[in-house]
Structure 1
Amino acid sequence: METKYDRLKAFVAENGWPRYRFNQILHAVFKERIGEFDRMTTLPLPLRHQLRKRFGKSVLHLTPVFRKQSGQADKVLFELPDSNKIETVRLIYRAGWQSYCISSQCGCGFGCRFCATGRIGLKRNLSADEITDQILYFHLQSHPIDSISLMGMGEALANPQIFTALKVLTDPRLFNLSPRRITVSTIGLVPQIERLSREFPQVNLTFSLHSPFDEQRSALMPINRKYPLDEVLDALDAHIQRHRRKVYIAYIVLPGVNDTPEHAEKLVSLLRGRGPWDYLYHVNLIRYNPASGAPKAYQRPREEELATLCRRLRRAGVKVTIRQSFGVDIEAACGQLYGRYYIRGEPEEHKAPAKGR
């Protein structure tokens, strides 16, 4: 599918400019971190005027309207051209690594019971440009782009534009990211898992499990009725066997709901004994994060509850990690995005920086 970079290239050619002018635009954006056409001084003034008239002031088309920071998390609310809103989170690790959690849809239509974003419903898919512009914004603000996870608003694999976005993010002329620094998270859409495995085998894959029991998982995550666990795990097995790539299992811990000894035992039986490559499954235990609009019945687990579940899995030979949690106090953590804005409206005391340099 066509992106803004395709349109820029075609526009330069159609208006009689030599091909290297397009390369100069890319150099300005991706090497010099210049987003505004008027500031691309290597371009002739008439071309700059033409670009501004056709594409607007900046190569970036998302408008940052609100920004909130807390410790190691930095959350930005963007307005889309049709006035819908999405959120993106920058995570700053102590070693200096900067990772980005980006959205693929405005809202989400899958209705997972514990997720604030899911209670909004799906407004629409994002375009490939809207997906990659979330990263472009931080790039133009001079932040390093070390890794990206498609774990923000929406189910990434439900949006076909995600495959075009992955091409842009990994294009050597553009963002030039290694596929191994990109993670796509899914609730278990089997045909799309198979497509991702074919087209982007080196991209990291995370499966959101959250219960090892089909009946309970269907209650928590209605998608399980369409794609039950056996079908999803068969698709993940095929991916592992074909590419020898690790698959991550995301498991939000809901105390008293999915952290019992029976859950641990069933999770072990699901992942162990799947063949010679079952060691490539890695469980990430995630703290449940209360959020605006999410059910009050679920509570954040205590550290000892997390540690107990982790210990049970590890003793049974399952590779497991307790994921670091950033940004809970500003509702920037897993399952919290957009709930506060949608239900109450965000206060306006923190205005986001302008969209281009």
Structure 2
Amino acid sequence: MKSTSKYERIQHLLSDLKQPAYRFQQIADAIFKQRIGEYDRMTIIPKAIRNELIKNFGENVLNLTPVMQKTSNQVNKVLFAIEGNEHVEAVQLSYERGWKSYCISSQCGCGYGCRFCATGTIGLKRNLTADDITDQLLYFHLNGQALDSVSFMGMGEALANPYIFDTLKILTDSRTFGLGHRRITVSTIGIIPGIDRLSKEFPQVNLTFSLHSPFVEQRSELMPINNRFPLNEVLNKLDQHISDTGRKVYIAYILLRGENDSNEHAEAIAALLKNRGPWEHLYHVNLIPYNSTDVTPDNFHQSDKERVQRFAHILKSKGIKVTVRTQFGTDIDAACGQLYGHNK
């Protein structure tokens, strides 16, 4: 499946108009270096060419529209309207050291139905095109924001969207976004063919695997995908990814009080990740506080601080690298899928 991005279509148009090769670079520089978001303001381009761009692409470079924004001291969350009367969300996180990180969506909704996830309650509306995805970042860039790092942890399962690989090409293209591969993170619930393709085509892009339970039955109950791509098969694939790329794999683990935060769970995670071979030190667990939402089941709650610390302590004592993620944005419904729900 291929969706031609606007950047490719601009290049086709320029070659149809018999324009010199440097013309595309001028347009890309206008967008990405001078942050010009309207074709008509790109005065370095001849007027006739600007008119052709407007005729073919509309007046604005950006094809999505911000319709709702919520901001707290470190989080800026935006709901965008996209083609087909649908909406997607993106989140900007600002760290104290001045680093700007983005959490962007790869699908409108999600069809995998993980039980604790607000996006899962929406169902899958559609895959986002490469433009839908990259425009989320372009919006922030045109508004003067630095794009320091990007993760596909917004709405949807990135590796289930065939356009994700076109998207990664655009994000890493030196003429456009020019992001370093290691500043991009793709998060997956364990789509094995996608992990395979990522290892081959973008080996330096960071990979995060959503675990959420080390016990097969419980994981299948929380995340039905486990029936299709069983945990052990996914872990074997991740071993292969690490040995092929020499890169870390992050294990995301959302702590749900009384559900998956017991000492036994921590010990079972350690057992899963130990003795996997010479690369086992490249697994790194990220413990994530749960954001409860209006649309997820009432029986899920955040683990208390002491429990989180104890869980982390057990993992560390077993030699597992672990980070407890700080929680951002609970006050503004920053869990993915929440603004979408409010807007409806």
SS, match of residue 67 in structure 2: strand
1:73-128 per-position Cα deviation (integer Å, ceiling 9, x unaligned) = 00010000211000000000000000000000000000000001101100000001
1:41-85 per-position Cα deviation (integer Å, ceiling 9, x unaligned) = 111112111111110011110111111100100001000021100
Distance (whole Å) between structure 2 residues aligned to residue 257 and residue 338 of structure 1: 22
Distance (whole Å) between structure 1 residues aligned to residue 195 and residue 148 of structure 2: 24
In structure 1, stretches of 5+ residues that fail to align are: 347-357
Instruction: Choose between structure 1 and 2 for higher RCO, CA contacts under 8 A separated by at least 6 residues.
Output: 1
SS, match of residue 172 in structure 1: coil
The percentage of aligned residue pairs carrying the same residue is 58
1:270-327 per-position Cα deviation (integer Å, ceiling 9, x unaligned) = 0011011101000000001111201110111211111010011111111001011111
Corresponding residue of 1:299 = 301
Corresponding residue of 2:85 = 83
Corresponding residue of 2:106 = 104
> How many aligned residue pairs are there?
342
Q: Mapping of 1:29-178 within 5 angstroms?
A: 29-178=31-180
SS, match of residue 106 in structure 1: strand
Corresponding residue of 1:338 = 337
1:135-194 per-position Cα deviation (integer Å, ceiling 9, x unaligned) = 111110010000000000000000010000000000011111110000000000111111
Amino acid at match of 1:227: F
Amino acid at match of 1:296: D
Q: Is the 8 A contact 1:283 1:321 kept in 2?
A: yes
Q: Is the 8 A contact 1:180 1:204 kept in 2?
A: yes
Distance (whole Å) between structure 1 residues aligned to residue 219 and residue 72 of structure 2: 33
Correspondence for 2:310 among 308, 332, 340: 308
Corresponding residue of 1:214 = 216
Q: Mapping of 1:168-247 within 5 angstroms?
A: 168-247=170-249
TM-score by length of 2: 0.98
Distance (whole Å) between structure 2 residues aligned to residue 340 and residue 141 of structure 1: 21
Distance (whole Å) between structure 1 residues aligned to residue 134 and residue 18 of structure 2: 28
Distance (whole Å) between structure 2 residues aligned to residue 240 and residue 19 of structure 1: 40
Correspondence for 2:289 among 287, 290, 310: 287
SS, match of residue 78 in structure 1: strand
SS, match of residue 8 in structure 2: helix
Shift of 1:340: 4.2
